[in-house]
Amino acid sequence: MIKNVKEDFNTYMGQVYEEIVKQCIRRLKLPFKPLKVGGWWKKGVEIDVVALDRKEKKAVLLEVKWKNINRKEAYKILAELEEKGKELPYPTKYYGLVGLDIDSREDLEKDGYLVYELKDLVKPNTYSVNLPK
Q: Quickly list DSSP for 24-67.
A: HGGGB--SS--SEEEEEEETTEEEEEEEEETTTTEEEEEEE-SS
Task: Return the higher-pLDDT residue of 54 and 95.
Answer: 95
Report residue 6 CA to chain centroid gap: 23
Confidence bin at 113 (pLDDT 50/70/90): very high
What average pLDDT does the segment 21-30 reach? 90
What average pLDDT does the segment 18-23 reach? 93
What average pLDDT does the segment 34-40 reach? 93
Indicate the pTM of the whole model: 0.86
- 72 within domain boundaries: yes
Residue 47 has pLDDT above 70, yes or no: yes
Number of domains the chain contains: 1
Query: Residue 109 is part of which domain span?
Result: 2-126
CB 98 within 8 A of CB 82: no
Residue 13 has pLDDT above 80, yes or no: yes
Residue 127 has pLDDT above 50, yes or no: no
The span from the CA of 31 to the CA of 102, in Å, is 20
CB 95 within 8 A of CB 113: yes
- 31 within domain boundaries: yes
* 58-64 vs 45-53, strand pairing mode: antiparallel
Residue 128 has pLDDT above 50, yes or no: no
Residue 3 has pLDDT above 80, yes or no: no
Confidence bin at 130 (pLDDT 50/70/90): very low
Task: Return the higher-pLDDT residue of 113 and 42.
Answer: 113
Residue 131 has pLDDT above 60, yes or no: no
State the CATH number of the domain containing residue 81: 3.40.1350.10
CB 116 within 8 A of CB 98: yes
The span from the CA of 66 to the CA of 18, in Å, is 9
- 131 within domain boundaries: no
Rg for the chain, CA atoms, rounded: 15
- 19 within domain boundaries: yes
